[in-house]
Structure 1
Amino acid sequence: MKLGLTILALLCGFSSAKAQQWQSSYQQTELIELFTSEGCSSCPKADQWLSSLKDDPSLFKSFVPIAFHVDYWDYIGWEDRFARPEFSQRQRRYDREKLISQVYTPGIIINSQEWRAWFRGATQWPDSSSPTGRLTANLQGDHLHVTFEQDQTYNLYVAYLGMGLETARVNAGENKGRTLRHDFVVMSMQSVKGNRDWRLKLLPPPDIGQQQTALALWISLPNSQQVIQALGGYLQSSE
């Protein structure tokens, strides 16, 4: 289930969707990354906190929340259906780049910097944005055109996010007997290198039971996961 630069035939429902545009400000939009797992007993509280951000009026304006489900807790009895090895590798790379202290869940990273104040009861992170440049995305059917003002090579990341997901029958592991609810779940992700201008043809978003789908985009330098700029928004229905 990956986004891709594909030359598949147009799919009627997806390609007939209305044109959409998203644009960041000149200030850095904060990318909030939650590394979580359905096999981790301390993760549901962090999942709930991330879900609460969907009611924030600044959602997709000054911050973009995303949840990466990691697979390294699957061995303890419950296999997280949202987990992917590449999501675990993303967190491990943050560790290798010394941007976080260690690999753990729940782990919260804001603008590529570890945020541990949540464990002490904080619900609002400090403003860490700075002037970076404007990122713009235009989606016409399944064609995505992304531009950035700075003339430099970057990695563009594009992810579909699932909203209103639920696992009602956890029958093993640390969360046995619980019903787990999730928002902003990364369902698929792809990265493409480019210089200021990217043109992609997207596969349709995965259908895994989400109530709504959003799109998140961000750019990083080619040799680092340090986030430069981000944006996102809900996809409009094709109906």
Structure 2
Amino acid sequence: MVMASRRFLWLAAFALASSAFAGAGHASESEKMHAEPQADRPLGVVELFTSQGCSSCPPADAFFAELATKDDIVALAYHVDYWDYLGWKDTLSRKENTERQYDYMRAFGSRSVYTPQAVLNGRIHVNGANRTEVDGALARMARSGEGMRVAIKVSRTSDRVIIDAGDAGTGPSDAHVVIVYFEPPQTINIAQGENSGRKMTYWNAVTGIQTAGMWHGKAQRYELPISEIVKKGGCAVLLQSAGKDGMPGPILGAAFIHKP
């Protein structure tokens, strides 16, 4: 019964995500040109570091699938490659994802990396399978001013995506505008390794990260060619501060960039 319920959840959520990716596709060019920017100040950002070859990751992946369907969460899954030697090469893993996790390790002053690790708002990390810790930490950060305090508005014309970052108010006033590309939900049959025989649906698996510009605490606009967005399964923008050593810091704002 539990497996049937989870399957129903995934199927329903998959349909919801598919409609979100395709959402504005039927709008006229005139409507696209004059559409109002969409304000997005979510509850928080969840970055899950996971692997198809990690036996303790499936519960975190299932919980992440729920987070990925929430309107107030920007959820991104970074599949890492350091468990590939256990008998199954993660089909979604990327060296760059592993590098981002090591950057967080150094930023947090940790001595090692692990899966499933959930980094919340770029500020803390917890076990990605622990629903209570993830939900509780996001709520606490929102109350204490460590949530998404800078509004990110995304709009588009016929040939470009426009990202408007708001004013900082107080706190950090320098950040990178980070664009994160990810895949739509996909189901993988794992044939070998610690999860051999499992059939898993993975959400928002990251395929690329790039820095689109710098933000210095004042309202600023950034533009991307829409041709870059339509090539990808999905896209998010993170306004992420960085230390002097370049390590990732707190995420101050975030939004999804929906495909046209």
Give unpaired runs (5+ residues) of structure 1.
1-15, 208-212
Residues 57-110 of structure 1 deviation map (CA, whole Å, 9 limit, x = unaligned): xx2x3x211111011111222111211111111110011112656310000111
Q: Does 2:100 correspond to 1:90? A: yes
Aligned partners of 1:164 and 1:183 also within 8 Å:
yes
Which letter does structure 1 place at the counterpart of 2:108?
K
Separation in 1 of the partners of 2:56 and 2:198? 12
Corresponding residue to 2:177 among 150, 156, 168 = 156
Q: Does 2:99 correspond to 1:67? A: no
Which letter does structure 1 place at the counterpart of 2:95?
P
Tell me which residue corresponds to 1:52.
66
Tell me which residue corresponds to 1:80.
90
**Structure with greater Cα Rg:** 2
Aligned partners of 2:49 and 2:116 also within 8 Å:
yes
Calculate the aligned-residue CA RMSD, in Å: 2.9
The total of aligned residue pairs comes to 210
Structure 2 CA distance for partners of 1:125 and 1:232, relative to 1, 3 Å: farther
Which letter does structure 1 place at the counterpart of 2:58?
P
Q: Give secondary structure in 2 for the equivalent of 1:163.
A: coil
Separation in 2 of the partners of 1:85 and 1:147? 31
- What aligned pairs does 1:164-183 form with structure 2 within 5 A after superposition? 164-168=185-189, 170-183=190-203
Tell me which residue corresponds to 2:221.
197
Q: Structure 1 residue 53: deviation in Å? A: 2.2
Corresponding residue to 1:144 among 161, 172, 192 = 161
Separation in 1 of the partners of 2:132 and 2:175? 35
Q: Identity of counterpart residues, as a percentage?
A: 24
TM-score by length of 2: 0.70
Separation in 1 of the partners of 2:118 and 2:158? 33
Residues 95-153 of structure 1 deviation map (CA, whole Å, 9 limit, x = unaligned): 11126563100001111111248448656233112272211122335522112123754
Tell me which residue corresponds to 2:237.
217
Aligned partners of 2:38 and 2:155 also within 8 Å:
yes
Separation in 2 of the partners of 1:106 and 1:24? 27
TM-score by length of 1: 0.75
Separation in 2 of the partners of 1:65 and 1:200? 22
Corresponding residue to 1:35 among 46, 49, 55 = 49
Structure 2 CA distance for partners of 1:117 and 1:90, relative to 1, 3 Å: closer
Q: Give secondary structure in 2 for the equivalent of 1:97.
A: helix
Residues 138-183 of structure 1 deviation map (CA, whole Å, 9 limit, x = unaligned): 2335522112123754311122333321112x22211111111111
Which letter does structure 2 place at the counterpart of 1:154?
A
Aligned partners of 2:76 and 2:182 also within 8 Å:
yes
Q: Which has the higher contact order (CA 8 A, sep 6+)?
A: 1
Q: Which sits farther off after the overlay, 137-146 or 171-180?
A: 137-146
Which letter does structure 2 place at the counterpart of 1:176?
S
Aligned partners of 2:155 and 2:161 also within 8 Å:
yes
